[in-house]
């Protein structure tokens, strides 16, 4: 399942050069991952109540072009890989108007408890959801 949402570029998202500041993309990607989890039935507060936190362990991001003030961008998020211990989100941010891709990224998350102890496997129910998403990709 590919989760999508739109975001307007505001002045606070831009840098001194008049383009979107690189950190704004990271914030939008975080929003995409949070919304993805909610779309499969689990908010971050529900996961925290189950003693599951999902920190990012690595990000590989490619900046391809720059969004500008008042553009509307589309943030796409999907699970691209699940290895038990880690899950990888594939994320793309692109122009709503032109389809021009601004960034692509692979974001790897792990699961820890509230004390910061790493789970050796992402706990249920997320593990089953991630496995299902990998085995049943969205139709083209």
Q: The domain that contains 19 carries what CATH number? A: 3.10.129.10
33 pLDDT higher than 60: yes
Domain that holds residue 97: 3-130
pLDDT of 66? 95
Cis peptide before 125 (omega within 30 of 0): yes
Residue 139: inside a domain? no
Distance CA 98, CA 62 (A): 19
pLDDT tens digits for range 41-73: 889 899 999 999 999 999 999 999 999 999 999
pTM to 2 decimal places: 0.91
pLDDT of 121? 95
Among the listed residues 13, 15, 35, 51, the single catalytic one is: 15
pLDDT tens digits for range 6-21: 999 999 999 998 899 9
Q: Which of 26, 32, 36, 31 shows the shortest CA–CA distance to 102?
A: 26
Residue 71: inside a domain? yes
Distance CA 32, CA 101 (A): 16
Q: With left for phi above 0 and alpha for psi between -120 and 50, is residue 134 left, alpha or beta?
A: alpha
Residue 19: inside a domain? yes
Which two three-digit tokens encode residue 106? 């692979």
71 belongs to the catalytic site: no
Residue 48: inside a domain? yes
Residue 47: inside a domain? yes
Domain count, the chain: 1
């Amino acid at each position: 399942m590919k989760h999508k949402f739109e975001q307007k570029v505001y002045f606070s998202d831009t840098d001194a050069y008049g383009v979107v500041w690189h950190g704004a993309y990271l914030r939008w990607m975080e929003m995409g991952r949070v919304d993805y989890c909610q779309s499969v039935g689990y908010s971050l507060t529900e996961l925290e109540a189950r003693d599951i936190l999902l920190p990012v362990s690595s990000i590989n991001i490619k900046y391809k072009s720059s969004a500008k003030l008042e553009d509307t961008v589309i943030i796409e998020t999907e699970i691209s890989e699940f290895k038990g211990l880690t899950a990888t989100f594939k994320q793309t941010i692109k122009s709503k108007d032109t389809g021009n891709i601004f960034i692509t990224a692979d974001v790897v998350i792990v699961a820890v408890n509230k004390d910061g102890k790493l789970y050796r496997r992402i706990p249920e129910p997320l593990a089953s959801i991630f496995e299902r998403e990998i085995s049943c990709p969205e139709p083209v």
